[in-house]
Amino acid sequence: MSIFWLKVAVILYGVASLAVLPAVLYDRPRWRLLAVPATVAALFFHFVSVAEMLNAVHHLVPVNASEVQAVLGLLLAAAFLLVYARYRSLTVGVVLLPAVFLLGLMPAFAPGRRQIDVPQLHSAWLWLHIGLLLTAYAALCVSVLASVLYLIQEKRLKARTHTGLMSKLPPLETTDQIALRSLLVGLPCMTAGLLIGSALAQSLYGAAYFRDPKVLLSFAMWIAYVGMIAIRRSSGLRGRRAVWLSSFVFFIMLAVWSADQVSSVHQFAGRP
């Protein structure tokens, strides 16, 4: 049934993705009444699907590409609703909702079969490690998107353009607060996730853990993340430079994901 509920969620995300466009871009508030409830309903079915999916395979963490995509999509959808609840802005949904829809397509209609078989699979600490890192990644995605929207809005205001689709963007202060607060939420999650992962991996791999490419990239990402927050808070960095800085950390995150192919720590034998 988990796949069925995920399919329902994906369809609802598709509806929300379509409804958010006229609500934001064409200032049609009635579409908001469809976009938000559809997302809430999708999030509910999405959560039920993920819970059933992980329970069916008797582990608490996503261990293949399909499961990771499903959980990351769930977190991004939750991030969108949190932003809406706090700022009453649907703007980030123009990008986040289609992204969640696309992340859910593969797990819903072509779920993966490969699983990880390690002694710590059922450990609550491993579940916490993966959950915290996925939350940090979702927060970083929201921050990058908000930084890009800030740059677009800033250019529009300087050009004194008060008409068109871009005029529907939220105020600069709101967009900047979304970007910064997303980072502030993501940092403790990333820090705790890396520390828990380090403790778990050392029990299996010892000192070799610190020579793994993915581990090294993960700590480089953490350093860049901390540096980005420090620069933003100390110098009030905004606009183009903030976008470049956020994008730099985002690309390190993509490199961390890609490093699975050469990581000995994160490669496990699959079960038939």
Given a cut of 50, whether residue 93 has pLDDT beyond it is yes
What is the DSSP track for 156-169? Answer: HHHTT--SSGGGGS
Q: Residue 220: which pLDDT band, with cuts at 50, 70 and 90?
A: confident
Q: Count how many Cα atoms sit within 13 Å of the Cα of residue 31 in the half-sphere of its side chain.
A: 17
Instruction: Give residue 149's pLDDT.
Output: 82
d(CA 95, CA 56): 32
Distances (CA, A) of 259 to 1, 215, 254: 33, 9, 9
Q: Residue 80: which pLDDT band, with cuts at 50, 70 and 90?
A: very high
Which is more confident, 88 or 206?
Answer: 88
Domain ranges in the chain are: 1-111, 116-272
Neighbour tally for 116: CB within 10 Å: 19
Given a cut of 50, whether residue 37 has pLDDT beyond it is yes
The tens digit of pLDDT for each residue in 238-251 reads 666 777 777 788 78
The tens digit of pLDDT for each residue in 101-155 reads 888 887 887 665 444 445 555 567 777 888 888 888 888 888 888 888 888 877 7
Mean pLDDT taken over the chain: 77
